[in-house]
Amino acid sequence: MTVTFYWYPNCGTCKKAKKWLEEEGVNYNSVHIVNEPPSQAELKSLIEKSELAARKFFNTSGKKYRELNMKEKLKEASEDEMVGWLASDGMLIKRPIVTDGQNVTVGFKSETFEKTWKA
């Protein structure tokens, strides 16, 4: 199994997730989430498969999130608006996102990775 690993190389959480994947022998294709953010269609699919609300895909601790006052914007936003914002700027997306086409994890928690990605 090869997973797609959306990450930002300067992100500490992403580095931990990458190390976990490598230590567990999980094959992955890495995608730089800022240089190549997922498209709106890809994001819709990831959100659907993750069974998480679209707002869970926002990097709420990021500078861009605060600069754009996303906390307020999200209160009234539709899912389509949220997906549009996420697709427009990879820095708004919570990372890493890992998917095998069926399963999706957002962020890094070793217990979740253990359950989802351990071979």
Going by pLDDT thresholds of 50, 70 and 90, the confidence category of residue 1 is confident
Model pLDDT for residues 38-72, shown as the tens digit of each residue? 999 999 999 999 999 999 999 999 999 999 999 99
Reported pTM: 0.95
Q: Where are the beta strands (DSSP E) in the chain?
A: 2-7, 27-32, 97-99, 104-106
Model pLDDT for residues 58-112, shown as the tens digit of each residue? 999 999 999 999 999 999 999 999 999 999 999 999 999 999 999 999 999 999 9
What are the sequence ranges of the domains in the chain? 2-117
Q: What CATH class is the domain 2-117?
A: alpha beta
pLDDT at residue 7 is higher than 90:
yes
Contacts of 29 (CB under 8 A, 6+ apart): 2, 3, 4, 5
Contact 112, 80 (CB under 8 A): no
